[in-house]
Amino acid sequence: MGLNPCCFGIPLQTGCKIIAVLQIIASVLILLSSILGLIAIGIKSTEDKNSNGDDNAKETDKISDDTVVIVVLSLILTCSLIGLILSVVLYRGAKNKKRKKLLAWLWISLILLVVMVVKFIVDCIYVKIGHALELVQSAGLSASTIWPQPKHVSIDTSNSISIPLSCDVNLLLNSLRRTFPSKAKCMITQAFERASKNFKSQVPSPSYNCAVNPLNINLLVTNPSYQSVNPSKDSVSQESYKITINPQSEIFIEAATTIAALRAAWTFFQIPTNPSRFIQHPISIRDEPTFIYRAIMMDTTRSISVTEGQRHPIIRLYEMIDRMEVVKMNILHWHLTDTDGLSFQVDNVNVTSPYSVDEIKKVVQYGLDHGITVLPEVDIMGHSGTVWGRQTNIPSFAPWDCPYQFNLDSPQATQFITNLFKNMTTKIFTNCPILATGQDEVAPCGNNYVRDATALQNKLGQIAKNAGKRVLVWGDTILEQGLIFDSRITLVAPWREYEGCNGYAEGVNKLVERGYKVVVYNQNPWYIGRETTAEGLYSYNPLDGVQPSNVGAVLGGAVSLWEPSLRDLEHGSIFWPMSAAVGEVLWSGSRQGGEFNEERYDKISTFLRNVPASVVSMVICK
């Protein structure tokens, strides 16, 4: 074919040769850079495997990103190799004046051009991903100051800001709803004041003129009408929130509900600061719990002797709620009765009752204002004989027959239980969405035990249902005695490995397969006593052994304090901060914060021990 002059008077044949030579050089350079990139990724992967401190989730993210880079570099290497071959074809085609070789080069070059454009786009995206990863990794140690650890945290260390946490909070409240209930405003405002007060009391802050740079927080609540947690009906999204501090030092918090805003308050005042208590870098936090049911079970009957005229100091319950709020636990399971005592007054029951109805109602309200739902438990079947036995008109079994149990053959006994439960539901615990009726360690006594026990529990369940509530029972009578309760209104808390079950998890699976929602109260390892270790509590995964199809029916779990030999002052020092370990597992997910970190645990220990009870200046939100 004829080769006419090209640009600048250069013959087309010479021009093609020049292009071919330039492409050969470029292809060789790209080929070498791709090979070097693959080698670098290999070295980086080896270093990551040898490094410590990364959690499983981050490690998975790193592996995924490295795989993307390897694939992209491999494609580039392949394309550069093809380009090198085509460049040689072009050079030989131009030199020998072969039309077909020139056309082949032309069409394949067009295809490669498209590939290179795609590669450019991928590179740009990867740069952004890489920058985001750098932000997360730079937040690693700093973000670990937040307990429980949020699901997603990024700190932009490329920008510097200066926000003093020592200043008073100025909340700018907004809602997507037409109205913002005054109670919700009160709850949120009080939560931020408590969190700020605790921050200031524990962290010495230098003097600062807050008028120059006030702590303005823009808070948007999607649904401010949602003001209490009902774990039997709610989803984790109702406690979700997002905190954004931008490079302009503006603070924005988005909360799904009023309760979510309370959770955000305690995260905000744990954001890492410099020694002068200033937030130094823009930060973004997105968070929500893994489980909706995150409980602490507290026994106020057996830990000290109610029968001897003593009582568990009620101030301890307020202190418990204060600390639960800090670590984002949301259920206080209050074990009110047992063999040795009844912890509240009941109409027409002549027993020593350490807590008045008014005192109990105040504890329940205090919990609600702090985002904590009180779940009262009265052991209906077992663990009741000593107390109920004092009632001359209420028959109970003798200890040598069926110890500490009601006589279900007696209409008087069943009527007493029914009236007691109605009283609890309609007069005392009106603001509690779940009531527990015990059902643990019950001996199958009576002429028609299975029939009578099933009928009684279902009757109590119906009373609860009529009041818009549900009931919680231990797993004993269902798994070992075959009792069948209405699963639509009954939550089950297995607390041990049951007879006929190969391990704790098999009991959970059996309950779910029978239609029940389950909460994990596993005594091993989530019962706290003198021999309990924080590492053991933290390392337990409540979903271990649970079938994937059953996971959705596990609402969460609880840490329990039953130890009867503990003195009053030991409750705080032993129960806290160990419960914080369980709280993080239930909020962040098992081992999401990495394996047990003693230094981090010591920090939350110090923080929790110094949390002052705010009951002295308690504000009731109405």
Please tell me which residue in 250, 359, 441, 535 is annotated as part of the active site.
Answer: 441
pLDDT of residue 88: 79
pLDDT of residue 573: 67
Both 468 and 389 in one domain: the answer is yes
Give the pLDDT mean for 236-242. Answer: 96
Judge whether residue 210 has pLDDT over 70: yes
Q: What percent of the chain is predicted at pLDDT more than 70?
A: 76
Judge whether residue 221 has pLDDT over 90: yes
Both 276 and 420 in one domain: the answer is no
- Comparing 448 with 208, the larger pLDDT belongs to 448
- Comparing 615 with 610, the larger pLDDT belongs to 610
Please state which of the ranges 157-171, 314-328, 341-355, 453-467 shows the lowest mean pLDDT: 341-355
Please state which of the ranges 66-70, 289-293, 354-358, 601-605 shows the lowest mean pLDDT: 66-70
Judge whether residue 60 has pLDDT over 50: no
Q: Write the DSSP assignment of 430-464 as a string of letters.
A: TT-SEEE----S----STTHHHHHHHHHHHHHHHH
SS3 track for 468-519? CCEEEEECHHHHHHCCCCCCCCEEEECCCCCCCCCCHHHHHHHHHHCCCEEE
Judge whether residue 134 has pLDDT over 50: no
pTM of the model: 0.76
- The residue among 267, 287, 307 that closes a domain is 287
pLDDT of residue 17: 76
Token pair in block for residue 432: 């509690």
pLDDT of residue 386: 54
Inter-residue contact 25 to 96 (CB < 8 Å) = no
pLDDT of residue 32: 81
CA 561 – CA 190 distance, rounded (Å): 29
Q: Could you tell me how many residues make up the chain?
A: 622
Give the pLDDT mean for 121-147. Answer: 52
Both 555 and 581 in one domain: the answer is yes
Please state which of the ranges 310-314, 321-325, 568-572 shows the lowest mean pLDDT: 568-572
Give the pLDDT mean for 146-151. Answer: 90
CB count within 10 Å of CB 5 equals: 12
Judge whether residue 53 has pLDDT over 50: no
Q: In terms of DSSP bridges, do strands 337-338 and 341-342 run parallel, antiparallel, or are they unpaired? A: antiparallel
Does residue 318 lie in a domain region? yes
Both 56 and 170 in one domain: the answer is no
- Comparing 292 with 63, the larger pLDDT belongs to 292
Q: How many domains does the chain have?
A: 3
- 495-507 per-position pLDDT tens digit: 999 999 999 999 9
Mean pLDDT of the chain, nearest integer: 80
CA 560 – CA 575 distance, rounded (Å): 9
- Comparing 57 with 123, the larger pLDDT belongs to 123
Both 195 and 230 in one domain: the answer is yes
In the numeric block, the tokens 């007879």 are attached to: 499
Known catalytic residue at 563: no
Does residue 142 lie in a domain region? no
Does residue 418 lie in a domain region? yes
- The residue among 253, 287, 321 that closes a domain is 287
Judge whether residue 297 has pLDDT over 70: yes
Give the pLDDT mean for 530-537. Answer: 78
Give the pLDDT mean for 194-219. Answer: 78
**Residue 95's pLDDT band (cuts 50, 70, 90):** confident
Token pair in block for residue 509: 């699976």
Please state which of the ranges 155-159, 175-179, 336-340, 431-435 shows the lowest mean pLDDT: 336-340
Q: Write the DSSP assignment of 102-136 as a string of letters.
A: HHHHHHHHHHHHHHHHHHHHHHHHHHHHHHHHHHH
Q: Partners of 295 in the beta sheet?
A: 331, 558
Does residue 144 lie in a domain region? no
pLDDT of residue 498: 95
Name the residue range of residue 124's domain: 7-136
Does residue 316 lie in a domain region? yes
- 360-394 per-position pLDDT tens digit: 999 999 999 999 999 999 888 777 765 555 554 66
pLDDT of residue 538: 85
pLDDT of residue 261: 97
- The residue among 238, 265, 287 that closes a domain is 287
Both 531 and 602 in one domain: the answer is yes
Judge whether residue 227 has pLDDT over 70: yes
Give the pLDDT mean for 289-294. Answer: 97
Both 250 and 176 in one domain: the answer is yes
Please state which of the ranges 316-320, 579-583, 588-592 shows the lowest mean pLDDT: 588-592
- Comparing 268 with 227, the larger pLDDT belongs to 268
Domain CATH for 325:
3.20.20.80
Judge whether residue 420 has pLDDT over 50: yes
Angle, vertex CA 148, rays to CA 142 and CA 154, nearest 5: 40
**Residue 62's pLDDT band (cuts 50, 70, 90):** very low
Judge whether residue 566 has pLDDT over 70: no
Both 346 and 417 in one domain: the answer is yes
Judge whether residue 252 has pLDDT over 90: yes
Judge whether residue 419 has pLDDT over 70: yes
Please state which of the ranges 95-99, 163-167, 262-266 shows the lowest mean pLDDT: 95-99
Both 457 and 399 in one domain: the answer is yes
CB count within 10 Å of CB 130 equals: 12
**Residue 38's pLDDT band (cuts 50, 70, 90):** confident
Does residue 143 lie in a domain region? no
Does residue 21 lie in a domain region? yes
Does residue 203 lie in a domain region? yes
Both 462 and 345 in one domain: the answer is yes
Both 282 and 298 in one domain: the answer is no
Both 272 and 355 in one domain: the answer is no
pLDDT of residue 557: 97
